[in-house]
Amino acid sequence: MNSADTLNYIEGTLRPSRSGETFEKISPVNGQVLSRVARSNADDVRDAVAVARRAFPGWAALPGVQRGQTLHRLVRVMQDRQAETAAIVAAESGKSAKDAAGEAAGAAALGLFFAGEGQRLYGRTTTSSVANRRAMTIRQPIGVAGLIVPANTPIANVAWKAFPALVCGNAVVLKSAEDTPGTAALFAEMSHQAGLPEGVFNVVHGLGREAGAALVEHPDVGVISFTGSTAVGREIQRVAGVRLARVSLELGGKNPFVVCDDADLDEAVRWAVLSAFSNAGQRCASGSRIIVFASVADEFRSRLVEATLKLRVGSADQDDFGPVINQRQMDAILHGVDEARQSGARILTGGRRAKSGQLAHGFYIEPTLVDTLAADHPVSHQELFGPVATLYTVSGFAEALAMANDSPYGLTACIHTRNLDRALAFVERVEAGVAIVNGGTFGSEPHMPFGGVKQSGNGTREPGTEALDVYSSLKDVYLNLDDRRL
């Protein structure tokens, strides 16, 4: 990437913002300007929504199978341009080329799943209590879908929402993440290359309070899907609720990672490190609360510290994780660590900005482990969204489960144990949308529903076939027959 403009994509054409204003996209690797980005406002959003609304009837009228075939072509384009996609993802997010390539491949795999759903947009036939009556349901699109994505896994996040929205027959206006606009712009270019009709998929760039808010408020946007912070999600729910728009929210997490006294400690340490620090901890499913039985706490802590100290920070393939996405996020994370330190918590590793050598100008944070932090301390309940995990010691299973559930969030949870009874009890009783045994707190698959409870979401699930329920409506159909006409 160079310092060229990143423009909006509306009705198949690239457009600057109506105001002509731009903002700078800063590289998290070195602090340099990557591009100037169209700073859209309500006028640009109105243009995009109007275009999408005009394009919607034609796209919706296509049989689902044909829509799926178009999306299959888009998947093939994504596969052909995977190296280019990975390069932009790496440049914008700071992750390694290897990790970016893996993400690009995963986005295409998710697209492939939803393209196939064009053949399976099932309603159902059933019985009626009335003689000579047939009852059934059919699935229909909603209209214009407003999609708002975060920057942590940029191409995966776009695919995660765009493919199910499109296969259901909606036209889309995507508000790109402020920190990864180039990735969204490339997806738009690939959709054009694949032959998606003009106006069916549109991208506006800009700041959340200007472009994102305008998209949420627009009366012609029938469904809004947002992934991001709980605070913003709550505001979206409030604003969209006034006009009874459908809303799908996938929000924050402060996810528990429980280590029992019978756990395989080598595996538990390996997965704890991945859960806490991969992608620089920038996962809503990050394992940021590590809860350990007292009888193995000293040994586990020692092994975890040893493994954490071996991690390499940087953006090369040989490194374990890269920078956080921007200066603001880095400062907020370090402020949270300082609050924990000032309250008397022990910082076992890290706790500082990583700035040696080539890291000096980027937004890198050392992998950080915090111990002896009170369970009721604000940082114990706050999603820091960075490479920071806190350790807690408990007496046994009951206390571990209670602590796991003592959170405003309920996205993912994990337990490490060889005891099947414990494992089954945990997955049934933990207050989370995703429960995992002997693995990490992350790792969703395209065909599986993902989402949380409590302040981690509003109950919807994306992806999986459940995402079709976000982007379509079921219509009841009754056919009344007359035997006299036989």
Tell me: the pLDDT tens digits for 342-383?
A: 999 999 999 999 989 999 999 999 999 999 999 999 999 999
Query: Which homologous superfamily is 256-437 in?
Result: Aldehyde Dehydrogenase; Chain A, domain 2 (3.40.309.10)
CA geometry: angle 448, 452, 447, nearest 5 deg: 5
Asked whether 173 and 49 are in contact (CB, 8 A), the reply is yes
Give the pLDDT band of residue 239 (cuts 50, 70, 90).
very high
What mean pLDDT do residues 187-204 have?
98
166, two tokens? 């499109």
Residue 1 reports pLDDT greater than 90: no
Give the pLDDT band of residue 200 (cuts 50, 70, 90).
very high
Asked whether 201 and 172 are in contact (CB, 8 A), the reply is yes
Segments of the chain assigned to CATH 3.40.309.10:
256-437
Confidence at residue 485, expressed as pLDDT on a 0 to 100 scale:
86
Segments of the chain assigned to CATH 3.40.605.10:
5-251+457-475
Confidence at residue 287, expressed as pLDDT on a 0 to 100 scale:
97
The set of catalytic residues is: 250, 284
CA dist 357 and 16 (Å) reads: 38
- Quick: pLDDT tens for 286-341: 999 999 999 999 999 999 999 999 999 999 999 999 999 999 999 999 999 999 99
- Quick: pLDDT tens for 21-42: 999 999 999 999 999 999 999 9
Tell me which residue of 473, 474, 464, 456 sits closest to 163, measured CA to CA. 464
Residue 3 reports pLDDT greater than 60: no
CA dist 256 and 410 (Å) reads: 9
Q: What is the largest CA-CA distance in the chain?
A: 88
Give the pLDDT band of residue 45 (cuts 50, 70, 90).
very high
Using CA atoms, how far residue 451 sits from 33, 79, 89, 154, 233, in Å, is 35, 27, 24, 18, 13
Confidence at residue 4, expressed as pLDDT on a 0 to 100 scale:
57
CA dist 34 and 31 (Å) reads: 9
End-to-end CA distance of the chain: 70
CA dist 202 and 204 (Å) reads: 7
Using a pLDDT cut of 90, give the percent of the chain over it. Answer: 97
Phi and psi at residue 337, to the nearest 5°: -65, -40
SS3 content of the chain, % helix, strand, coil (to 5): 40, 20, 35
CATH architecture group of domain 5-251+457-475 = 3-Layer(aba) Sandwich (3.40)
What mean pLDDT do residues 93-112 have?
97
Give the pLDDT band of residue 484 (cuts 50, 70, 90).
confident
Secondary structure E strands in 93-177: 124-126, 133-141, 144-148, 171-175
Give the pLDDT band of residue 483 (cuts 50, 70, 90).
confident
Return the DSSP state at 376: T
458, two tokens? 């509003």
Computed over every residue of the chain, the mean pLDDT equals 97
